[in-house]
Amino acid sequence: MRLFFKRFLFFLIPILLMLGLAELYLRHVPTSYNIKEAQLTANSWNIELLILGNSHATYGLDPRLFSLSAFNIASVNQSLYFDKRITLKYIDELPKLKYVLISVDYHSLYFSDEGYRDTWSYYGYGINYKDSLSIATRLSYLYGYKGALALEFMKRSFQKKYRIIRSVDVDFDLDLDHPYTKGFVGKVNGPYLAETDNRDRAKFFNDIVRTSNERESVIADLEDFIDTLKKRNITPILITLPCYGPYRAYLDKTVMAQNTIDIQAICSKEQVRYWDYFTMPLDSIYFYNSDHVNEKGAAIVTKDVNRRIEELEKGEQVAGVLRK
Amino acid sequence: MLFNSLGYAIFLPVVFLIYWFVTNKNLTLQNAFLLAASYFFYACWDWRFLFLLMFSTLLDFYTGIKIAQNEKRGRRLFWFWLSISVNLGFLGVFKYYNFFATSFAEAVRHAGFQVNPWTLKVILPVGISFYTFHGLSYVIDIYKKRIEPERNFIDYGLFVGFFPLLVAGPIERATHLLPQIKRPRTFDYNKAVDGLKQILWGLFKKIVIADTCAAYVNTVFNDPAHMPGSAHVLAAVFFAFQIYCDFSGYSDIALGTARLLGIELLRNFAFPYFSRDIAEFWRRWHISLSTWFRDYLYIPLGGSKVGTWKKIRNVFIIFLVSGFWHGANWTFIFWGGLNALFILPSVIFKTNRNNLDIVAKGRLTPTFRELVSMVVTFGLTDLAWIFFRSKNIRSAFQFIGTIFSRSLFSRFPKEQLHTYFIIPLVCFLLIEWMGREEQYAIARLGLRWPKAARWAAYYIIFFYITYFISGAPQSFIYFQF
C-alpha cells in the first residue's frame, strides 16, 4: 500500500505542478472580458454613453466615433441578462452616464445564458449566471476554461502575442492585430457571405429562438432594467444593428414580426426610443459576415447613431433652456 | 455523478481511502460502507429513484430466500413469478409503457380510429435495465437451484448496487460477484496499478474519442438534409467509434474502479471491431449482456441444438429482445433484427464459432483475408448502427439513401471536427490493435520500456484527456438504457 501511494504521488507531482502553473498563468491572461472591465473602471468617471449587447454591438458600434465619451461593454453572445447585471454592477462608478444603447437583435429576447461564455463573463465581471456555476469553475480558471482553450492561451503566450497587443478575445475567432480601444475592436477580415454561411447562421439563430421558452422572462427583466436606468436619469435606447440582406431572408418571418410587436410594446410601456438599423441598406463590403458589420460598416452605423444622439442632446439643451 | 466528472474524481479517492484505511479490518463494515457509498453515488442522479432500487433489491433478496425455503413447486413458482413480474413490471412502466401506448395509438389510427394515448411523464430511472437484470438472473439461478440464496442483505445489496456497475453494467452474475463480496479483500499493488491504468484508458476513450466523435455525429444526424453523403459516411463511422469508446470506456472505468477496491468484474468488451464475422463481433461486444441473453433466454429456448426453423426463431427472438432492451423505439428493434439477419447464415451453416481467438494472434499484422473480413464485418455493424442512432426507421433509410447519392463524392463539412483529432484517433487505433490480446489496450503498454518512457506515455494520455475536456461532462450513451 505504501509503495502504491509513494509511486502514485510521485507520478502525480509533475501533473499537479503543471496544473498549478497553468492555473497561475491563466489567472493573469488578458481576455476581452477582463480588459474591458479594466478599461471601463479606469475611465468610468468620464463615460457618458454605454454600449451593451452581443456580438452585433461588439463589432457594430465604434465608441471612438461618438461625440460623447462612449464605451463598448458588449461581448460576443452577451445576453440582456448580463447587459443588465454588468451595467448595474458598475453604475455607481459612472457618474456622467447619460445614455445606454441596448442592442436588441433577432434572438436577444429569447436567451439569457451564454453557454460556456457564462464562465468567461464570471472571470471578467464576477457575474455568476443565476448562481449556476460550479464551485470548481469559480475557483479554478483551468477547470473553467477547459484544456484546449487553456493550451491555446499558453501557445499564444509562447508566440509572444500578448506582449504586442495586450488584449485578446477569449474566443478562438481572434483579431490579434487590433487591441481594444474603449472596449471596441472592429472586424477587418471578410466578408464571409457565402450562401451556405448565410443559411447556417440563420439556422443557428432560428434554432435558438424556436427552442426558447424565455421570451417573457427576458422581456420582464429588460423592462426592469429600463426602469432602473430611468430612475437614475439615464436614457436607455433600444437599437437593432444591420444584417446582410440575403441572410435576413433565411430568418423566421413570424419571429421578426413578434420582435417588432414586443419591442414596440416595450417602447410604448417604458417610453423609450427604438432605433432600427436591421434592414439598413449596406453593400457587402461593409459586412464581416451575415450578421456582423465590419469596421467600415461600424463607422457608418455609429456616425448615424451619433447624429441621433447629438439631436437628442440638442433637444435636451433646448428643453433645459425652456424649463429655466 | 458521472465517471468523467470532477465529482467522481473526488468521490473515488475518498471511497478508496476509507475503504482501505478505515473499514479494512472488518468485512461487514467494509461492505456496508461500500453499499452506503454506492447508494450515495446513485442518489446523486435522483435520490427519489434510490427507493425504487432499494425496493427492487429487497424484493429479490426476500423472494430468493422464499424460493429456496419452499420445496413445493407451486410456492416456489409463486415467489419466482412475483419477483419476475414486479421486476419486469417496473421496467415495463418506466421504460416501455409510453412506447406501447403510442404504438397502439398509431396502429389504431391506421385502422381509421383516433385515440389519444395516456402517456406517463416520468424520466427513466438510470440503470434500471442493468440492476433489473442483476436481480432477474439471481432469482432465476435460485429457482433453477444453481445457487443458494444470499442471506446477508448488505452483501446482496452490494451485489446489485455496487457503484461501478450500478448504472451501466457489466451485468454481473451472483456466482461471480457474490463470492468476492463475501471474501476478505487484501490490497494488491499490481491490481491497483492495473485498475488505475484501465481507468486512464477508459477516460481517454470516453473524453478524447467518443465525445469528439459525438460532436460531428450529432451535427450530421440532427440535420441530415443539409449534409452531403460524404458527411453521412463519416458520421456513421464516427458513431461506431463513439458508441464503442463511450460504452467500453465506461466499462474500463468501472472495471478499473472495482479492481482498485480489490474486486474483479466481468469483462464487457474484447476489441469487437477487430472481429472477422458478426458472430465473433457479438462474442466481443457487450459480453455481459450477450451472455446473459444466451444463458437466460437463448439456451432455455433450445439454443442451437434444435431444428433449423427453431434455430432461426431463437436467433430472432434473442436479437429482437436485445434490441428492445436497449430502448423503447422501433429503431432498436430494427437494429436487433438486422443483426439477427447478419448472424443467421453463420448459425445455420454452423460457422459461428470459426473465429474464437483474437485476429492475428501472435502476429503484428493481419492477413489480407483477415483484413477484408474485418472491414466487411465493421461495415455491416456500422450499417446497423445507423438504425440504432437514427430518430426513426424512415430517417435511417433516408440517411443510407444519402450515402449512396452523388453527394457522396462532395467535400464534407469540417467545422465540427476538432483540428488535432486525427492524432489521438490514429494513436487510439494503433494502441487498440497492439493491445488486442490483453484485457484492455494499454494493459501491457510499455511494460518492457524504461519507466520514464512508460510514464511519459501515461502523461501523454493524460494530457490528451485534459486537452479534449470541453464544457460540462458528457453523459454516457448507455445510461439511457
Query: Any CB–CB contact under 8 A between A20 and chain B?
Result: no
How many Å apart are CA B281 and CA B366, to the nearest integer? 17
Min distance A1 CA to chain B CA atoms (Å): 7
Scanning A101-130 for CB atoms below 8 A from B yields: 115-116
User: In order along chain B (481 residues), what is the average pLDDT of each group of 10 residues?
Assistant: 87 96 93 97 90 94 94 92 94 81 79 72 81 94 94 96 91 94 94 96 95 90 86 94 95 96 96 95 95 93 86 92 89 95 91 89 94 96 95 93 86 74 92 94 91 93 87 68 63
pLDDT at A177 (0 to 100): 67
Residue B358, Ramachandran bin (φ over 0: left; ψ between -120 and 50: alpha; else beta): beta
Beta carbons of A148 and B192 less than 8 Å apart = no
Kindly tell me if the per-residue pLDDT of A62 is higher than 90.
Answer: yes
Are A166 and A30 in contact by the 8 Å Cβ rule? The answer is: yes
Are B329 and B99 in contact by the 8 Å Cβ rule? The answer is: yes
pLDDT at B414 (0 to 100): 73
CA-nearest residue to A140 within chain B is: B6
Residues of A in contact with B194 (CB under 8 A): none
pLDDT at A319 (0 to 100): 66
What would the grid cell of residue B182 be?
463475501
pLDDT at B410 (0 to 100): 81
How many Å apart are CA B362 and CA B458, to the nearest integer? 25
Query: Any CB–CB contact under 8 A between A261 and chain B?
Result: no
Q: How far is CA B266 from CA B139, B156, B245, B319, in A?
A: 19, 17, 18, 21
Stretch A242-267: mean pLDDT = 95
pLDDT at B341 (0 to 100): 95
Strand ranges for B198-267 from DSSP E: none
pLDDT at B446 (0 to 100): 87
Min distance B187 CA to chain A CA atoms (Å): 7
Are A80 and A108 in contact by the 8 Å Cβ rule? The answer is: yes
Query: Which pairing describes strands A287-289 and A292-293: parallel, antiparallel, or unpaired?
Result: antiparallel
Residues of A in contact with B226 (CB under 8 A): 199, 203
How many Å apart are CA B44 and CA B228, to the nearest integer? 42
How many Å apart are CA B455 and CA B446, to the nearest integer? 9
Min distance A206 CA to chain B CA atoms (Å): 14
What would the grid cell of residue A207 be?
434554432
Beta carbons of B471 and A15 less than 8 Å apart = no
- Measured CB to CB, residues of chain B less than 8 Å from chain A are 6, 20, 187, 189, 192-193, 196, 223, 226, 455, 458-459, 462, 465-471
CA-nearest residue to B188 within chain A is: A1
CB atoms within 10 A of CB B167: 25
| pLDDT per residue as tens digits for the range A262-316 | 999 999 999 999 999 999 999 999 999 999 999 999 999 999 999 999 999 888 7
Beta carbons of A146 and B458 less than 8 Å apart = no
Beta carbons of B193 and A4 less than 8 Å apart = yes
CA torsion angle A14 A16 A20 A21 (round to 10): 10
Beta carbons of B459 and A15 less than 8 Å apart = yes
pLDDT at B46 (0 to 100): 85
Kindly tell me if the per-residue pLDDT of A324 is higher than 60.
Answer: no
Give, in degrees to the nearest 5, the angle at Cα B437 between B436 and B438.
90
Stretch A122-140: mean pLDDT = 92
Phi, psi of B367 (to 5 degrees): -75, 170
pLDDT band at A322 (very low <50, low <70, confident <90, very high): low
How many Å apart are CA A142 and CA A149, to the nearest integer? 9
pLDDT at A173 (0 to 100): 61
Q: Which residues of B50-81 are buried (b: 16+ CB within 10 A; e: fewer)?
A: bebbeebbebbbbbbbbbbeeeeeeebeebbe
Beta carbons of A1 and B193 less than 8 Å apart = no
Q: How far is CA B407 from CA B217, B226, B460, in A?
A: 18, 11, 38
pLDDT at A121 (0 to 100): 92
Nearest to A147 among B20, B196, B468 (CB): B468
The whole-model pTM stands at: 0.83
pLDDT at A316 (0 to 100): 73
Active site residues of B: 326
Stretch A33-48: mean pLDDT = 93
How many Å apart are CA B310 and CA B287, to the nearest integer? 24
Residues of B in contact with A136 (CB under 8 A): 6
Q: What is the H or E stretch that residue A101 is in?
A: strand A99-103
How many Å apart are CA B367 and CA B361, to the nearest integer? 11
Beta carbons of A1 and B468 less than 8 Å apart = no
Q: Best mutation site among B211, B466, B469, B470 for testing chain A: the one with the most A CBs within 10 Å? A: B466
pLDDT at B184 (0 to 100): 94
A153-167, A231-245, B196-210, B422-436: which range is least confident on average?
Answer: A153-167
Beta carbons of B455 and A15 less than 8 Å apart = no
Q: Best mutation site among A2, A4, A19 for testing chain B: the one with the most B CBs within 10 Å? A: A4
Residues of A in contact with B223 (CB under 8 A): 203
Beta carbons of B189 and A134 less than 8 Å apart = no
How many Å apart are CA B14 and CA B16, to the nearest integer? 5
How many Å apart are CA B401 and CA B416, to the nearest integer? 23
What would the grid cell of residue B177 be?
460477484
Helix, strand, coil percent content, chain A, rounded in steps of 5: 60, 10, 30
Nearest to B467 among A4, A147, A199 (CB): A147
How many Å apart are CA B433 and CA B363, to the nearest integer? 11
Are A68 and A309 in contact by the 8 Å Cβ rule? The answer is: yes
What would the grid cell of residue B442 be?
494499454
ipTM over 0.90: no
* Sign of torsion over alpha carbons B417, B421, B422, B428: negative
Listed in sequence order, the residues at least 6 apart from A64 whose beta carbon sits closer than 8 Å to its beta carbon are A70, A181, A182, A184
pLDDT at B223 (0 to 100): 83
pLDDT at A169 (0 to 100): 73
Query: Any CB–CB contact under 8 A between A147 and chain B?
Result: yes
How many Å apart are CA A18 and CA B425, to the nearest integer? 25
What would the grid cell of residue A95 be?
457618474
Question: Of A231, A232, A291, nearest to A105 (Cα)?
Answer: A291
Nearest to B6 among A4, A7, A136 (CB): A136
